[in-house]
Amino acid sequence: MTFLDMLRHAERQNRSLLCVGLDPDPAKFPDRFKGDASRIYDFCAAIVEATADTAIAFKPQIAYFAAHRAEDQLERLMAHMRAVAPQVPVILDAKRGDIGSTAEQYAIEAFERYGADAVTLSPFMGFDSVQPYLKHHGKGAFLLCRTSNPGGDDLQNQRLASVEGQPLLYEHVARLAQGPWNLNGQLGLVVGATYPAEIERVREIAPTLPLLIPGVGAQGGDAVATVRAGLRVENGQTTGPIIVNSSRAILYASGGDDFADAARREALRTRDLLEAAKG
């Protein structure tokens, strides 16, 4: 199954647009193993088991593993997600961006070493920094487009004098991803939930690309506005998919020993909110 097949399957089977983000911070673990980086796998595995039937995707953030020398735990977690939820695609959040020969190495890391179904990438270095990922047929690649952080404005929101129609930089990225860069239909875009009007603008430019939308939950994005701005459905079929990520609000829902149960409740609540917003 390709990434897109898995995504369609998980959306239908789990009736969900919710992506469970895995940003494990040992300082926020429950008291009995707070601060213990050797328990990253245990913590994340419990979250995965508790939320496997609520999610359209999982999204581990590799920085949280790399900071703690926990690549081996990430490898085990990737295998565990495949075992517990073979139908739920895994997006490795790595935001790589480098010249072709280096991008080939990062693609091996994401798709072969970790077995991810999709990866996040920065478009700053242009098409030849993206192309090596597209040689891994069936895998997905989400380009940063309009991000949910305050500094997202600094470059992404600048208007380009040198491109027809004078688009903003993020609009130009959306155009490239919907059009000339999308050789085999593998591309998607990352668009922050804190700016629903911009999700709508990206969706106009890129009607069929999957949009990965972080920023719901701890970052404060509005779930209902996000779904209305981003999701496209025709005749009961999703033609413009969205994947709405929540990380911290789910992972640290209780902070106590009931963290997995609390995570499940928060995941179900968010999933149902997103489903209801389909209207």
Which residues are at the interface with a second copy (CB under 8 A)? Answer: 23, 61, 63-64, 66-67, 69, 71, 75, 95-103, 105-106, 108-109, 112-113, 122-130, 144, 147-163, 166, 169, 172-173, 176
> What is the closest distance, in whole angstroms, from the C-beta atom of residue 86 to a second copy in the complex?
24
**Residue 125 or 224: which CB sits closer to a second copy?**
125
> What is the closest distance, in whole angstroms, from the C-beta atom of residue 60 to a second copy in the complex?
12
d(CA 126, CA 237): 33
Task: Kindly state the tokens that stand for 122.
Answer: 């920065």
Report the half-sphere exposure of 28 (CA within 13 A, side-chain side).
15
**Residue 72 or 258: which CB sits closer to a second copy?**
72
Long-range contact pairs involving 259-265 (C-beta distance under 8 Å, separation at least 24): 259/29, 259/30, 259/43, 259/46, 259/47, 260/46, 260/47, 260/49, 260/50, 261/50, 263/47, 263/50, 263/51, 264/50, 264/51, 264/54
Q: Which amino acid is at 216?
A: V
> What is the closest distance, in whole angstroms, from the C-beta atom of residue 233 to a second copy in the complex?
30
> What is the closest distance, in whole angstroms, from the C-beta atom of residue 126 to a second copy in the complex?
2
**Residue 42 or 98: which CB sits closer to a second copy?**
98
**Residue 97 or 230: which CB sits closer to a second copy?**
97
d(CA 184, CA 262): 40
How many Å is the maximal CA-CA distance in the chain?
A: 58
> What is the closest distance, in whole angstroms, from the C-beta atom of residue 144 to a second copy in the complex?
6
Q: Which amino acid is at 2?
A: T
**Residue 162 or 235: which CB sits closer to a second copy?**
162
**Residue 38 or 158: which CB sits closer to a second copy?**
158
> What is the closest distance, in whole angstroms, from the C-beta atom of residue 107 to a second copy in the complex?
8
CA angle 192, 198, 202 (to 5 degrees): 95
Helix (H, G, I), strand (E, B) or coil at 17: coil
DSSP string covering 46-87: HHHHHHTTT-SEEEEBHHHHHTTT-HHHHHHHHHHHHHH-TT
Task: Kindly state the tokens that stand for 190.
Answer: 């990352």
Residues recognised as catalytic: 95
